Amino acid sequence: MDFLKPSLLILLFLFTVRATAANAAACTGQWQLWNAYAGHFIQSDGRVIEHSQKGRTTSEGQAYSLFHALVANDRQRFDKILAWTRDNLAAGDLSRHLPAWLWGQDDRGHWGILDANTASDADMWLAYALLEAGRLWNRPELRRLGKAVLHNIEIQDIRDLPGLGKTVLPGREGFQLDAGRWKLNPSYLPLQLLRRFSRASSTTVWDQVIVTTRKMLLAAGATGIVPDWIVYDHHKGFTTLPNESIGSYDAIRVYLWLGMLNDADPLKARFLNLLDFTNDSFGLPPEKIDTRSRMGAGKSPIGFKAALAPFFKSKQAERRLHRTIRMIDSQWKNGLLTDEPRYYDQNLALFALAWLEKRFRFEPDGRLTTQWETPCTDAAGNPNSSLPAG
């Protein structure tokens, strides 16, 4: 058996120390990245702000932050984020309206909805956060609201595509290119969420969505690299549009969702074997990769590196994982990544690092398990009473 090089042993030691410290912090209710993120990006009324995008707010940002608040057991912020989303993106009633995807300041200086179309990934993370918050916090009203949002997704965001079946479109409008073609986004469909919806829905539609998603992901990842967008053609099957074979800011999430998927999921091993984002020529990783030529370009933001960490861990790519952790650890500034923190980077890191620190996991059926549900123990195995009540 080959011995590890000293440099890797040092990295392994540092990673173990970091994980131990993170677990200890979780036992005392501390999650520094979440607290820093909330302080920088979330207003006191629950609006999540993208400072680098003219102060806009998206349904994605609201939904992601609801999930993070649940993982943090931060019920007060969860309720404020939910209330702002309901009142400003859903006409005051999330049981009847899916949220508009974009809110901000228009050319006349007025603040409000800029685009009323839906974003199905945000809709699904919203439904998931509500279902799991209702279950974990024993709040039936949240569970009922989650099921209402799920029902509205089934009506508005899902279409029955000829020759393919029930498919989640990226939004309610604008993604049918012509009579026989639809534009799809592989990163919008985390399998763990689809598994959970299959249990929660009163219909079989999500079982069908899992089948079509499997087909789409196999086609999207055929070269080992996933593009941001893929087209389904009723006559030709899956293809990419000219000049749109690039994997970048959207596609990076496919690797993140896959890395965090439960190991017992029957599709995880197949997709891990299919995707091979481990080649040194990619530069860990570039900002953009052409999925056909496999040529990369541009320097990626730190969030890309965080997103790939669970993927590398699941693929047992240890050298890549520890190199990634080292790069992430070099970027902390005042509790956030980089001295000019950007919303998207921090969200990718919140998902990835919390999963690595075992703050949460997805069960095979998609249910969420959080660290705060189970009493922590001290070195002698005694329960730690400082754990937040669940």
Query: What element of type H or E holds 341?
Result: none
Residue 121: active-site member: yes
Write the DSSP string, 106-126. -TTS-EEEEE----HHHHHHH
CA distances (Å), origin 39, targets 31, 46, 129, 271: 12, 11, 21, 37
3-state secondary structure of 337: strand
3-state secondary structure of 218: helix
User: Facing residues of 332 across strands?
Assistant: 337
* From 74, 121, 154, 250, active-site residue: 121
Write the DSSP string, 162-210. TTTEEEE-SSSSS-EEETTEEEE-GGG--HHHHHHHHHH-SSSHHHHHH
Only one residue has tokens 């923190």, namely 341
- Give the dihedral of Cα atoms 58, 60, 65, 71; nearest 10 deg: 180
* From 60, 74, 345, 357, active-site residue: 60
Residues serving a catalytic function are 60, 121
